[in-house]
Structure 1
Amino acid sequence: MRKIAVLTSGGDAPGMNAAIRAVVRKAKYHGVEVMGIYRGFEGFIEGNMELLELGSVGGIIQRGGTKLFSSRCPEFKEEKYQLQGIEKMKQASVEGLVVIGGDGSYRGANALTKLGFPCVGIPGTIDNDIPGTEYTIGFDTALNTVVESIDKIRDTATSHENSFIVEVMGRDAGDLALWAGLAAGAESVLIPEEPFNLDEIIERIKRGEARGKKHSIIIVAEGVMSGSELAKILKEKADIHTRVSVLGHIQRGGSPSARDRVLAGRLGARAVEILLNGSSGRAVGIKNHQVIDYDLDEAFKLKHKAELSLYTLSKELSI
């Protein structure tokens, strides 16, 4: 291959810029040109792209978001638009594509591969919900943002003797809530992967009050229910008054952590190697601290699993 392209798709995640940088510079190292496609698969269909030079990705490793922008493109599910995009790539002499994003982005990359256009997927999502990899780009940064926010909320909760419910992102995965709950010392954590016992949560709060504790922190993943819904249930069932804090999109922003930058560099470089070695329809990831790659079809057969030992530990430490 003499020319490849890179795009970011779906929800943005800290570290996407670092991954773009790694793709461009790894390719340049091997004498391969890289086209940056703007606004995800929408830009792929329209041929909205430009040549990325070394200077194009200078000074972006520390920036959150994505310099290539992102969008959600429902039209791309139709084969006629996929073929339209492939034709745009052929006109620009682009021979392969690196897709940085989550589950939906992987499905787009897989569809293009089946139409004969080589693609490799890089996991970029704060949700950490991509099967086949232990960590996704953006998860560590988002986790630190959540923990920092909870630490600040706890200061207020302590001062005003209030209990707080903190709603975090994660879609249908509880990793952000689970890891943040353990790291921030939350009294209760609710995740989609594990059924929760409301009476147990109430008992934990009451037990704390009995020993003089003036506040509690409850973390709920958005895939379980909203924070306001949980607050209403606790009020109706046990007359427990809580304040609700929805962290929202603050979790997606910010300068990527060192861990996410290193992960982005390693995965971006491997994605380029795969394309240059003549392979496609692959996804890259991390397992046991080692970079791996696997078939995109396999990614859809696997199911993301939360590390439930952390859930158990969190409950044990919040007695």
Structure 2
Amino acid sequence: MALHYLEFERPIAELEAKIEELSKLSETAGPGVFDAEIEGLRSRAQKMRRDAYSKLDAWQKTQVARHPDRPHFVDYVADLIDDFIELHGDRVFGDDQALIGGIGRFRGRPVVVIGHEKGRDTASRVKHNFGYARPEGYRKAVRLMELAEQFGLPVISLIDTAGAYPGIASEERGVAEAIARSTEKCLMLGVPNVAIITGEGGSGGAIAIAGANRVLILEHAIYSVIAPEGANSILWRGSRTGADAARAMKISAQELLANKIVDRIIPEPVGGAHSDREQTMANVAEAIEQELAGLDGLSAQELRKRRSDRFYAIGRTLQ
């Protein structure tokens, strides 16, 4: 599979191209001829990647959060959820594949899982509408949360969307109302819910399934009321850049944690979640298990109170 390099990774890409070239030459020059040079270049590339990812700014983190090879909802389900059964449709209009959900087992524990899916190639991106959920997607989420409450199952939400779909048909079918209903259901659930922002957490399309007891975020993910490009367009009439907006909006995981908008940062491997899927999955699984364990045994009333206290506190201590 071809690697996708981001703009700030160009020096690393050039170095790894040299490594690839030397590796091909070594096949014809004989075994071991270029081993020392290749090993030296690999060590240098690893150091460059480690240095680059240790000081990413908000715009660079936005690029990493949108990386095409970053693990998607279907990957998390495949790796973390056993016996997953997808449940389709909102029982009103149709089945939105931008927001997927179902039941399964997380480390032996029955759970309901809901999340955005962007798709990876052209066909799947069209199928999943690039992760832009329509009203029926959020109504499906409400249906699944009601099912979780009925059977006493915890809810795990995986958020990765630039926002809800803003098309005319979506507006005609009441997308704002559907988002509000989904947000309300999250906040009023009588069972534990944990939300993880795995890539992009954008606008109401994200908060609709992120009104959880515990909101976690991957180290290089972002969470914002609007995409940086949209903020630039609306606030500055396009006179600046998305990069300027990203830096001003405090959308990185570290800034969000400092402002108590998220509760925990899940570390990513050096090079981002896409560079080591196995390690990423292990980190996410461990975080989910710890958070669910911390909510075990709480009454429905206590779970609701903790949620309300958590969200009412946002904004009181913003830096």
TM-score where L is the length of structure 2: 0.33
TM-score normalised by the chain length of structure 1: 0.33
Q: Relative contact order, CA 8 A, sep 6+: which one is greater?
A: 1
Q: More helix per residue: 1 or 2? A: 2
